Amino acid sequence: MLKIHNSLTKQKDIFTPIEEGKVSLYVCGMTVYDLCHVGHARVMVVFDVVVRYLRSVGYDVTYIRNITDIDDKIIARANENGETIQALTERFIDEMYQDADALGTLRPDQEPKATESMPEIITLIETLIEKGFAYASDNGDVYYDVSQFDEYGKLSGRVIEELRAGERVEVNEQKDDPLDFVLWKAAKSGEPAWDSPWGQGRPGWHIECSAMSATCLGEHFDIHGGGQDLQFPHHENEIAQSEGAHGCQSVNYWMHNGFVRIDDAKMSKSLGNFFTVREVLKQYAPEVLRYFILTSHYRSPLNYAEDQLEQAKATLTRFYTALRDVAAAEVRWQDDKDYGARFREAMDDDFNTPLALAILAEVRQALNKADPQEASYLAGLLVCLGAELGLLQQTADAFLLGDDDDSEILTLIEQRNTARAEKDWAAADVARDSLTAMGIVIEDGADGTSWRRI
RNA sequence: GGCUGCGUAGCAAAAUGGCCAUGCAGUGGAUUGCAAAUCCAUCUACGCCGGUUCGACUCCGGCCGCAGCCUCCA
């Protein structure tokens, strides 16, 4: 029985889909004006695992992740760079795919873009005005009237009066109330703009997700995900918009993943303390980053540190070492009564990937001890369990050896083995020292010498 | 100030009212020409103070410390 921690109820709820056997999932994606950083990687990997797991236990999942391709930052960056908004966003959408693909994340079923959803966005704003949840101001802005939505604050646990007391909301003369938020922004000169009943303008940030989720998944769907920082105000506002306009509950389960931190501070663009996925992948295999992300539960903070990546790398090396030279059998983990059952228990408990990885480690150890027939089964089990986490899907050689030229390595190994055959240990060690200097580790086994890169 | 969440061994990270997490690192042993890999064994825990209980890392209360949100942010 799958349980999901629901930000709306603040507890683990038993997951019951709206329509039996089907799951509709919407995840807030990237604003495309720069490269993805490790925080973005976490969202991608976490929800990738959610999708993989839900599918593996039989759900027909529709996975939507939007792309925000128009907003203040995009406009500012395009101006800075002296390029068009379209050129900028297309470039970074392409970069995003490079990172997402490297990390082995499955493509969402649909990736709606804000700029391609204008009719839906405008219709939604019109509905909100008709129903009295929104008002147009003199300058062509349209605002959501927070006081009209009784349940405002239900997701983030906020109370309107307290927000007002906070006094940190900037005063804007166009708004009736400082807490009201913008649905449609009137265009300033030179800004990209779309026609609307309120004049030329562009959508506010929150409205696009309400429009696109309803378009792709309907007015009421199962799971909405995103980073914890989106819980307020973005998701709170999304609820106000969707539920105000549609008059029904919009989302059953809200999932929020924790932050990536550096030195105990949130990794963020505004603090400037971020690593891009691209930078990390220069030094580590994508699978290492993915493994690192999954070593922590998705709701916990994840402290980014190089030695943690080294640990992840060492662990993966052991997994692939165990898989090396074993012909993996075709196995369905769902049929395995021991490890498979415990894996399911772990994942059913709000996607507990650290516990799931502990079970994979047990399989690995059993595999190392097993006789050939059992080994083949356990290797198959390991690979198919790994698949649900997006791990262990390469060949052992691809991970351990890489695909750089290895002729020199093979020559040295041959030299060393010739020396060993003659019991010329000094010469053998010279060859090995050369290999060590090249970052190569040698392993003499019963049937020959194998090697791997450090 | 308001609202969340967290504090587990050298590092990372789970579960659990009474028994093993797990990974990386360390130590001892087996194995090896020596290594590596592997196996066996093993050392380090539950922020502090009270309470509930036969028994608490686990439940309750207080304290301390940390992070996040309240403003753009995955």
Rounded distance in angstroms from the CA atom of residue A405 to the C1' atom of nucleotide B29:
39
Instruction: State the pLDDT at residue A269.
Output: 82
Same domain, A237 and A276: no
The predicted-structure confidence for A220-255, as pLDDT tens digits, reads as follows 999 999 999 999 999 999 999 999 999 999 999 999
User: What pLDDT does residue A49 have?
Assistant: 96
Mean pLDDT of A270-276: 87
Same domain? A218 vs A285:
no
What pLDDT is recorded for position A279?
Answer: 94
Q: State mean pLDDT over A307-324.
A: 93
Is the C-beta atom of A169 closer than 7 angstroms to strand B?
yes
CATH number of the CATH domain containing A216: 3.40.50.620
Average pLDDT of span A290-305 = 93
pTM for this one? 0.95
Together in a domain, A147 and A189: yes
Q: Please check whether strand B approaches the CB of A240 to within 7 Å.
A: no
Looking at chain A, how many residues does it have?
454
Share of chain A above pLDDT 90, in %: 84
Which domain range does residue A427 map to?
Answer: 404-453
Pairwise CA distance, residues A20 & A344, whole Å: 20
pLDDT in tens, A366-409: 999 999 889 999 999 999 999 999 999 999 999 999 888 889 99
The per-residue pLDDT for A62 is 98
A113-117, A127-131, A262-266, range with the lowest pLDDT: A262-266
Indicate if CB(A270) is under 7 A from strand B.
yes
Q: Are A246 and A279 contained in the same domain?
A: no
Tokens of A121: 């966005």
* Backbone CA torsion sign across A292, A295, A297, A302: negative
Minimum CA–C1' distance nucleotide for A46: B74
Whether the per-residue pLDDT at A168 is higher than 60: the answer is: no
For tokens 């839906």, the residue is A120
Tell me what pLDDT residue A284 has. Answer: 94
Q: Which nucleotides of B are covered by protein (CB under 7 A)?
A: 1-6, 11-15, 21-25, 32-40, 66-74
Residues A159 and A215 in one domain: yes
Mean pLDDT for all residues in chain A:
92
Question: In the prediction, which pLDDT does A446 show?
Answer: 81
State the pLDDT confidence band at A108, using cuts at 50, 70 and 90: very high
Angle between helices A205-217 and A236-246 in degrees, nearest 10: 50
Question: Given this model, what pLDDT does residue A158 score?
Answer: 84
pLDDT at A171 over 80: no
Same domain, A340 and A204: no
CA of A365 to C1' of B30 (A): 17
The answer to whether some atom of strand B lies closer than 7 Å to the beta carbon of A446 is: no
Nearest to A229 by CA among A269, A263, A205, A257: A257
| A10 CB and strand B closer than 7 A | yes
Span A317-337, pLDDT tens digits: 999 999 998 999 999 999 999
Write down which residues 48-67 in A have CB closer than 7 A to strand B: none
- In angstroms, rounded to a whole number, what is the distance separating the alpha carbons of residues A31 and A88? 11
Q: What average pLDDT does range A32-50 have in this prediction?
A: 95
- Residue ending a domain, among A210, A236, A257, is A257
Both A169 and A40 in one domain: the answer is yes
A25 & A59 share domain: yes
Taking only the tens place, the pLDDT of each residue in A175-186 is 888 889 999 999
> Among A10-14, A42-46, A169-173, which stretch is predicted with the lowest mean pLDDT?
A169-173
Interface confidence (ipTM) of the complex: 0.93
The set of long-range contacts for A265-271, using a CB threshold of 8 Å and a minimum separation of 24, is A266/A229, A267/A37, A267/A38, A267/A39, A267/A304, A268/A39, A268/A229, A269/A34, A269/A37
Do A54 and A196 belong to one domain? yes
What mean pLDDT is predicted for residues A115-136?
96
Q: What is the band of A41 on the pLDDT scale with cuts at 50, 70, 90?
A: very high
Please indicate, yes or no, whether residues A171 and A225 belong to a single structural domain of this protein.
yes
For residue A170, pLDDT beyond 60? no
CA distances from A132 to A4, A143, A179, A244, A389 (A): 34, 11, 16, 9, 46
- CATH number for the domain spanning A300: value is 1.20.120.640
Confidence of residue A270 (pLDDT cuts 50, 70, 90): confident
- A268 nearest nt, CA–C1': B73
Q: Based on the domain organization, do A240 and A110 belong to the same domain?
A: yes
- The pLDDT, as a whole number, for residue A454 is 87
DSSP-based three-state secondary structure for A113: strand
Long-range pairs, A439-442, Cβ under 8 A, ≥24:
A440/A409, A442/A413, A442/A416
The confidence score (pLDDT) of residue A175 equals 85
Confidence (pLDDT) at A66: 96
Q: Which of A209, A239, A257 is the last residue in one of the domains?
A: A257
Is residue A418's beta carbon less than 7 angstroms from any atom in nucleic acid strand B?
no
Q: pLDDT tens digits for A189-213?
A: 888 999 999 999 999 999 999 999 9
Q: How far apart are CA A282 and CA A20, in angstroms?
A: 44
d(CA A85, CA A91): 10
Which residues of chain A (69-98) touch nucleic strand B at CB < 7 A? 71, 73
CB atoms within 10 A of CB A208: 29
* Listed residue (A290, A300, A301) closest to A268, CA to CA: A301
d(CA A409, CA A427): 16
Answer yes or no: is A325 CB < 7 A from strand B: no
Domain count of chain A?
A: 3
Residues A85 and A124 in one domain: yes
Q: How confident is the model at residue A166 (pLDDT cuts 50, 70, 90)?
A: low
